Structure 1
């Protein structure tokens, strides 16, 4: 290889909740490198302490089975991450959902195998635009056994919103999570069988 060329090998590491907790420092580091502008703007919901509080709750031992974290490394540098979990019966995920249309009781009926919640996907800001987010998305969702996946996106995050739509997601409603200082999100759904 020419000394001026850079290697571009993207590797993925799949982690359970327990393994993710062991990499807590790395998870926070990737978050800080990805949400630079939101942190600098002082957004309370995106403050590192608030984010890590949510991470700790998602990976708590009593949380339930199925949490999966995928960390992407580019030439050995942890450059992005995505995580989620299957929604089980009585999940808090759907609390406060306002569907655009349809029956909310039927839509939110979960059994642990119907819906996978894609909770986070992020890439270090200096590496955006290289296809890493799409690769993380596909790596996390590619072999999921659930029928569908859901995620929350800020309506004013036009770049992410547009990208998700290109990847096959569509809006079904709005939701404000119960976390402190949480904004109102648009709820997107994607058929995983497609």
Structure 2
């Protein structure tokens, strides 16, 4: 079957939670992530509040009725704590948020069987193509070579490192300028 990419709002995305958990579980079980059931549950506790955020948007990849990939995020609020997780100093102007400046890309994952077919690229493009934000920001594990290569190919630049939550590995903070 042909993989189709569908834009979804928060309510529609929330309705796919079970299938999205399967995508997350498969995509992040592999090295370098090694995430297990507790990690999936932690991610989906966040997911339940994320889908209700102002400006939330998602794209989901389907092969027939099977969800094979997901990408979602929302604009960072003026008082976001995202920048507070940085381990490297960055200029104050880089940290400035107003609720519209930066779209936070919180998840982008493709099931292993559907990788290397352009699914992630198509989802990323569909997610960011009509954004009114000036930039997109994401966190990525530096040892995730395939993801890092894709982000660089799409125009992201590393701006620092972060420990996004207690006990997390170091992540690269990457920004894509849209303007």
* Residue 170 of structure 2 is aligned to residue 181 of structure 1: no
Q: 1:83 aligns with which of 72, 75, 84?
A: 72
Offset from partner CA, 1:141-164 (integer Å, 9 cap, x none): 111110000111111111211121
Cα distance change of structure 1 residues 59 and 67 upon mapping to structure 2, 3 Å threshold = farther
Query: 2:30 — aligned with what?
Result: 37
How far has the Cα of 1:18 moved from its partner?
Answer: 2.9
Other-structure match for 1:168: 155
- Alpha-carbon deviation of 1:184? 0.7
Assess if the C-alpha contact under 8 Å between 2:106 and 2:138 holds in 1: yes
How far residue 42 of structure 1 moved from its aligned partner, in angstroms, is 8.6
**Residues matched between the structures, number:** 179
Equivalent residues of 1:153, 1:187 under 8 A apart: yes
Q: CA deviation at 1:59?
A: 3.2
- d(CA) in 1 for partners of 2:62 and 2:5? 6
Tell whether the 8 Å contact from 1:150 to 1:188 is kept in structure 2 after alignment. yes
2:13 to 20, 23, 32: 20
- Which of structures 1 and 2 has the bigger CA Rg? 1
Displacement of 1:173 in angstroms is 0.5
TM-score by length of structure 2 reads 0.88
Query: Which residue does 1:48 correspond to in 2?
Result: 37
Distance change (3 Å), C-alpha of 1:95 and 1:161: same
CA contact (8 A) 1:59 1:67 kept: no
Match runs of 1:109-188 below 5 Å: 109-178=96-165, 180-188=166-174
Partner of 1:3: none
Unaligned segments of structure 1, at least 5 residues = 1-6
Which is worse superposed, 90-99 or 151-160? 90-99
Structure 1 runs (4+) greater than 4 angstroms displaced: none
Q: TM-score, normalised by structure 1?
A: 0.82
Is 165-174 or 71-80 further displaced after alignment?
71-80
